[in-house]
Amino acid sequence: MLDTYQKKYTNNNRQFVLIDKTGIVLESDQTLMKIAFGHSIFELHPFFESLTSVFESKEEVNFYGIHIPFEDQLFIVDIKAAPVKEGLLLILKDLTEHYNSYQKITQTRNESVIKTELTVLKNQELAERERFKNSFIQNFSHELRNPLTSIMAIIEILGDTEMTNEQLQMLDFLKESNTNLRLMLEDTLSIGMIDAGQLQIQKGVFDLHKFFELLIFTYKAKAKEKGLKFDCLWDEKIPKLVEGDRLRLYQIVTNLIDNALKYTEQGSIQFDVKLNQKRANIVNLRFEVTDTGVGISEENKDAIFESFRQVKSNGTTKGVGLGLTIAKKLLLLMNSTIKMQSTLGEGSKFYFDLSFEYPLFTDSNSELSSKARRPKIEAKHLDQKKYKILLVEDDTYVQTTLFKILLNTNRFKIDLAYDGALVLQEVVTNNYDLILMDVNLPNLDGNQITRLIRDFPFKNIKNTPIIGITANAYEESIAECLKAGMQKVLTKPFEKDDLLKLIYKILK
Ligand code: ADP
């Protein structure tokens, strides 16, 4: 009984062939290939010629994965060649299916390895491009800071001189353009900092209602100039004081409203703030900027959020293509997302939700508003003597403008140095009350000089206050200056008042 089953299920994949020492086929069971008797097996396939070596060795030899095409069929076989007294016994084992599926598996595996490697390469390329973009932005904004600082300072100095009305008006234009340039620079820098993971959200308590009023004040006039209406409505139940990053919220909202103004030729721009939810001391608000402008086509709806990406609206592009990217990235840092609805030719709505903590008791109200008021720059606490300041700056324009700012106060005697190596000589021979030091200097940089000064054995030199001035606003480079021993670091471009305020504070 078992014999029958065995016969049925025994795999018929073996062929036995007997050849003589010259390769002539003596016998064959023909299970796989019908081989002609009395002919040389070498005619079947050139592989068999290699068997001559087996005759000589007199030992069994195995060959694996031999491809033999036979009558329109390809056999892939393992062959055992055993020397016998008649000549050679060949046992051909058909493993065509096995080898084919093995090949398929290997191929799939190779393809998947190649795919993974391609993805890795692609990611590397993307990371490389991102790195290049960031370092480009960093260098580019760095280079712009010096001239911008000079222009700002010169505008302020000019403003203090006698001028005709026409000149004053022109100065106002100059101021306005320069402010725009500065904001663009700040935006560019923000992108670089966000991408480098260096921008942190800084929370503080601020007055939301005042925030809205400032926006109304700013944008009513701007909209009117363009013949548009601007309205800002907010739910009265929204707390007055909230805790959040006012500066970044301002950056997001103004980017959206600026865009609405840019891309709307007639109609209105509406800024609404709605109360989504209020519980415990957390409030969730929806900010919406709606315009009746050109709108955005379906195919461009994703592209507009990419950096430096502009989409032609109404045949024109305005700006540098960063506004929306910044808004999107800042919101991401605040755990929110920017959303948009738009119909081409009808208008757009950009909106997002944000949560704020708010104080349950508003006693601090009066305290906050008094704190928020800009303090007047006073130097009453200082002696009437003239303080000696060493100004170290290699950019001649910045040097001249800073020199004039300091000179105009009539409170300082100023020495100038432009080369790091010369500073030490000056510091040793003069007893300075303060050093104003650019960080990026030829020969010795500001940090190196500061470290050398702090290592001096004489107390009067060692303890001279040093304010650093840098074009590099990155947190880590500022931290490096402070670590080197600077008291404070100002980043270019800065306001004249900020500089004087800081100097007076440190001189006390
Ligand atoms: P920019 O305005 O500097 O070009 P943005 O990143 O702010 O850069 O915007 C990217 C693109 O999105 C713009 O070039 C414009 O085509 C489109 N866009 C943005 N806001 C609006 C809007 N309110 N209406 C129509 N198109 C808009």
Whether residue 321 has its Cβ less than 6 Å from ligand 1: yes
Contact call for residues 489 and 459 (beta carbons, < 8 A): no
Helix residue spans in 263-362 (DSSP H): 323-333
CA distance 162 to 168: 9
- Closest to 414 measured CA to CA, from 398, 440, 395, 433: 433
Closest atom of ligand 1 to 255 CA is 7
| Residue 166 Cα distances to 152, 162, 414, 508, angstroms | 19, 12, 34, 41
Q: What is the maximal distance between C-alpha atoms in the chain?
A: 126
CA distance 326 to 308: 11
Contact call for residues 467 and 489 (beta carbons, < 8 A): yes
CA distance 6 to 384: 117
Closest atom of ligand 1 to 317 CA is 14
| Residue 437 Cα distances to 149, 153, 401, 461, 505, angstroms | 15, 17, 14, 15, 17
Whether residue 314 has its Cβ less than 6 Å from ligand 1: no
Closest atom of ligand 1 to 293 CA is 24
Residue boundaries of the structural domains of the chain: 11-94, 191-357, 376-507
Predicted local distance difference test score (pLDDT) of residue 400: 78
Contact call for residues 155 and 178 (beta carbons, < 8 A): yes
CA of 326 to the centre of ligand 1 (A): 12
Q: Does the domain spanning 191-357 belong to CATH 3.30.565.10?
A: yes
Q: Do domains 11-94 and 376-507 have the same CATH topology?
A: no
Sheet with 466-470, side-by-side order of all strands: 412-417, 387-392, 434-438, 466-470, 488-491
Q: Which residues pair with 437 in a beta bridge?
A: 392, 468
11-94, what's its fold? Beta-Lactamase (3.30.450)
CA distance 165 to 423: 43
Whether residue 324 has its Cβ less than 6 Å from ligand 1: yes
Degrees, nearest 5: CA angle 156-158-164: 130
Helix (H, G, I), strand (E, B) or coil at 334: coil
Contact call for residues 178 and 314 (beta carbons, < 8 A): no
Contact call for residues 246 and 264 (beta carbons, < 8 A): no
Cis peptide before 457 (omega within 30 of 0): no
Helix (H, G, I), strand (E, B) or coil at 357: strand
Task: Identify which of 226, 290, 313, 322 to mutate to test ligand 1's pocket (most ligand atoms within 8 A of the CB).
Answer: 313
Whether residue 317 has its Cβ less than 6 Å from ligand 1: yes
Whether residue 252 has its Cβ less than 6 Å from ligand 1: no
| Sign of the dihedral through C-alpha 101, 103, 107, 113 | positive
Closest atom of ligand 1 to 260 CA is 23
The span from the first CA to the last CA of the chain, in angstroms, equals 113
Whether residue 260 has its Cβ less than 6 Å from ligand 1: yes
pLDDT tens for each residue of the chain, 508 residues long:
787 777 777 767 889 999 998 899 999 999 899 998 999 998 888 888 888 888 777 788 899 989 999 988 999 999 999 999 888 999 999 999 889 898 888 888 888 888 888 888 888 888 887 778 777 777 777 778 778 888 888 888 888 888 888 888 788 778 777 776 777 777 777 777 777 777 788 888 888 988 898 888 878 888 998 999 999 999 988 998 999 888 889 889 999 999 999 999 999 999 999 999 988 788 999 999 999 999 998 888 887 887 665 565 554 545 556 788 889 989 999 999 999 999 999 999 999 999 998 876 544 444 444 334 344 456 666 777 889 999 998 887 788 788 888 888 888 888 888 877 778 888 888 889 999 999 988 778 999 999 999 998 888 889 999 999 988 777 888 999 999 999 999 988 787 888 998 999 898 7
376-507, what's its fold? Rossmann fold (3.40.50)
Contact call for residues 24 and 88 (beta carbons, < 8 A): no
pTM for the whole structure = 0.52
Q: Which residues pair with 277 in a beta bridge?
A: 284
CA distance 297 to 132: 31
- Closest to 140 measured CA to CA, from 93, 76, 188, 174: 188
CA of 321 to the centre of ligand 1 (A): 7
Quote the tokens at residue 120: 């890795």
Predicted local distance difference test score (pLDDT) of residue 320: 59
If you take atom 12 of ligand 1, which residue's CA is the nearest one? Answer: 304
User: How crowded is residue 294: how many other Cβ atoms within 10 Å of its Cβ?
Assistant: 21
If you take atom 14 of ligand 1, which residue's CA is the nearest one? Answer: 310
Predicted local distance difference test score (pLDDT) of residue 337: 95
| Residue 188 Cα distances to 13, 134, 389, angstroms | 73, 10, 34
Query: Going by C-beta distance under 8 Å and a sequence separation of 6 or more, which residues neighbour residue 453?
Result: 424, 427, 435, 461, 462, 464, 466, 485
Sheet with 87-94, side-by-side order of all strands: 25-28, 14-19, 87-94, 73-84, 61-70
Query: Going by C-beta distance under 8 Å and a sequence separation of 6 or more, which residues neighbour residue 203?
Result: 243, 244, 245
